[in-house]
Structure 1
Amino acid sequence: MATIKQVSELAGVSSATVSRVINNADSVKEKTRNLVLEAMRTLGYRHNVIAASLASNKTNTIGYVVPELHGSFFGPMMSGSEAELRNANKHMFVATGHSDEKVEQEEIEALLGRRCDGLILHVEAVSDSYLIDLARQDVPFVVVNRYIEEIGDYCISLDNVQGGYLATKTLLDAGHKDIAYIAGSLFKADARERLTGHKQALEEAGIMFNPALFYEGDFQAHSGFEGMMSLVGHLDAFTAVACANDEMASGAIEALRQEGIDVPQNCSVIGFDNIEFSSYLTPKLTTVNYPMREIGQMAARWILARAYGKETLELEHVLPPHIIERDSITRPRRR
């Protein structure tokens, strides 16, 4: 197996220069970099990451735990993180926690056991106390889409209460007073917080929350469809529906379409997240913006700063939401 010394001799440079090329350092001139890369190809050199990590006590890998790999939410977030980490010559190991406390803990411990230098965690089931204890162990990690007051500096999230409030306030401002609500799984903090914001907007308007106009989904499109089908029998009792994410809103719109109910003329709909397909629905979906890619980027910058001492700009730990106005809301018809 070829060595760094052999590569340096063939390229006519020092071993230190070869190491800088391997570590993608900016200080190496392009001509020199190409000479080293050509020598590595000629000799079939492969960098021994394990040996390097033993010498430096760093593996240049970041563990990433997300609930699942399908859907339209996690891709942009992970893409934002991956771009930042790749630019810093770091690599991601991705694991799925399936919103199960035991599985999430197992994946976190497995990534730490593989000597990841830091963790980006989108975890929904592990307890606050587990994460607080992890922080006490000086593990570099950042939690996304969840805020824990005791370790607020470790968290990057959207203000979900404000987002839920803005969604319902948008319907209220359009003249709707009877508003149904399709929630995400309420064991998840963001689902509870968005529902809290919904209730706050109703209370501010002097409207009592009506449990008959409530359905708990699971953030998947099918549950939005099923939720709307269960509510549609009460359509004379509401003129609009707020959904806790865009996927459920898309399912709700399809249910209304199958029942021959026009959106927004007979029922207005608002979503949450502003995932890519929301602007391609018919009608185009009014929603609450969730800057998923930007949060992924900020999470990666946080890890680079904590795990590797990289300079970073001041981070926002709780981002403000805002409404994306499109075509799925209109004023209610008089009854």
Structure 2
Amino acid sequence: MVTIKQVSEKAGVSSATVSRVINNTGTVKEKTRDAVMAAMAELGYRHNVVAASLASNKTHTIGYVVPELHGSFFGAMMGGTEQALRQAKKHMLIATGHSDANIEKEQIDALLSRRCDALILHVEAVSNDYLVSLVHQGVELVVVNRYIEEIGENCISLDNTLGGYLATRHLLEIGHTQIAYIAGSLFKDDAINRLNGHRKALAEANVAYQEGLTYEGNFQARSGTDGIRALLAKGAKFTAVACGNDEMASGAMIALREAGRRIPEDVSVIGYDNIDFASYLSPGLTTMDYPVQKIGSMAAHWVLERVYGHNRYDYEHILNPRLILRGTTCSPE
């Protein structure tokens, strides 16, 4: 096995210089860096990550738990994290929790057993108390898309109640009063908070909330289609539908067209998340912007600052959503 000493002799520099090049620490002249890289390539040197981690007590690996790998939302979030970590020469291990408390705990334990230096957690089923206890045990972790007051400094999330409120307020402001709502899975905090925001906007406008105009989906497109079909099948009357995310909104649009309803002339539709495909629907989907890539990047910088001592980064622990107006909403005819 080729050693750092052999690389240093080949490049004509000290072993300390080779170590700085490998770990991307300290200042090394570009000419010197090129000489070290050339020597490593010629000798076939491979950095022994295990040995280095034992010496430094750091693996330079961050564990990431997400509910699933399906859809654009999680890809955008993880993409924001991966880009920031890659630039810092760190690595990411991804695990899925499937919104099941036991699986989420198993995945967290598995990542910690692999000596991850920190965890980024988008978990939906484990309790707040469990996450608080991890922090108190000294586990370096940041929770995304969920706010827990006791460990607020470890959380980066969106104000989903405000988002649900703003979405429905937009429909009310353009004249709708018969507003259906397709919610995400109502055991999840973000789905509950968005529905609460919807109800708050109705109450503020003195419009009665009707249980019969609400359908519980599961954040996937098919449940948006199923929701509209179910509402129409029971004769529900509505001129607009607010959806808990863009995927369900896209599914709702399919079902509305199947039923001969024009969008937005007959029924206005608003989504939530502003994922990539929202602007490519026809018409483009009016939605609430969820800066998910920014949240992913912030989570990475939280880890880089707290665990590796990188430069201080300005965080927004609770971000505000904003309305994105496109072509799926208009005043009722």
TM-score by length of 1: 0.98
Shift of 1:25: 3.1
> Any idea what SS the aligned residue of 1:64 has?
strand
Distance, in Å, in 1 between the alignment partners of 2:289 and 2:235 is: 27
Partner of 1:162: 162
Partner of 1:63: 63
- Runs of 4+, deviation exceeding 3 Å: 233-236
Shift of 1:31: 1.6
The residue identity in structure 1 corresponding to 2:6 is Q
Partner of 1:330: 330
Shift of 1:41: 1.1
The residue identity in structure 2 corresponding to 1:217 is G
Partner of 1:255: 255
Partner of 1:145: 145
Aligned pair count? Answer: 333
Change (3 A) 1:235 1:37: farther
Unaligned runs of 5+ in 2: none
Change (3 A) 1:235 1:263: farther
Shift of 1:154: 0.8
Partner of 1:233: 233
Change (3 A) 1:235 1:324: farther
1:167-178 alignment runs, 5 A limit: 167-178=167-178
Partner of 2:321: 321
The residue identity in structure 1 corresponding to 2:186 is L
The residue identity in structure 1 corresponding to 2:21 is V
> Any idea what SS the aligned residue of 2:288 has?
strand
The residue identity in structure 1 corresponding to 2:246 is D
Distance, in Å, in 2 between the alignment partners of 1:250 and 1:29 is: 53
Partner of 1:85: 85
Deviation per residue, 1:256-313 (Å, 9 max, x gap): 1111111101000000000000000011000000001100010011111111122222
TM-score by length of 2: 0.98
Unaligned runs of 5+ in 1: none
Shift of 1:26: 5.9
Q: Is the 8 A contact 2:302 2:313 kept in 1?
A: no
113-122 or 306-315, which deviates more: 306-315
Distance, in Å, in 1 between the alignment partners of 2:155 and 2:224 is: 29
Shift of 1:322: 0.6
> Any idea what SS the aligned residue of 2:176 has?
coil
Superposition RMSD on alpha carbons, in Å? 1.0
> Any idea what SS the aligned residue of 1:65 has?
strand
Deviation per residue, 1:145-183 (Å, 9 max, x gap): 001111111110000000000000000011000100000
Partner of 2:132: 132
The residue identity in structure 2 corresponding to 1:202 is L
Distance, in Å, in 1 between the alignment partners of 2:256 and 2:176 is: 18
Distance, in Å, in 1 between the alignment partners of 2:228 and 2:27 is: 59
Partner of 1:207: 207
Distance, in Å, in 1 between the alignment partners of 2:329 and 2:3 is: 65
> Any idea what SS the aligned residue of 1:237 has?
coil
Q: Is the 8 A contact 2:270 2:286 kept in 1?
A: yes
Partner of 1:123: 123
Distance, in Å, in 1 between the alignment partners of 2:312 and 2:273 is: 26
Distance, in Å, in 2 between the alignment partners of 1:328 and 1:312 is: 41
The residue identity in structure 1 corresponding to 2:9 is E
Change (3 A) 1:26 1:16: closer
Q: Is the 8 A contact 2:213 2:236 kept in 1?
A: no
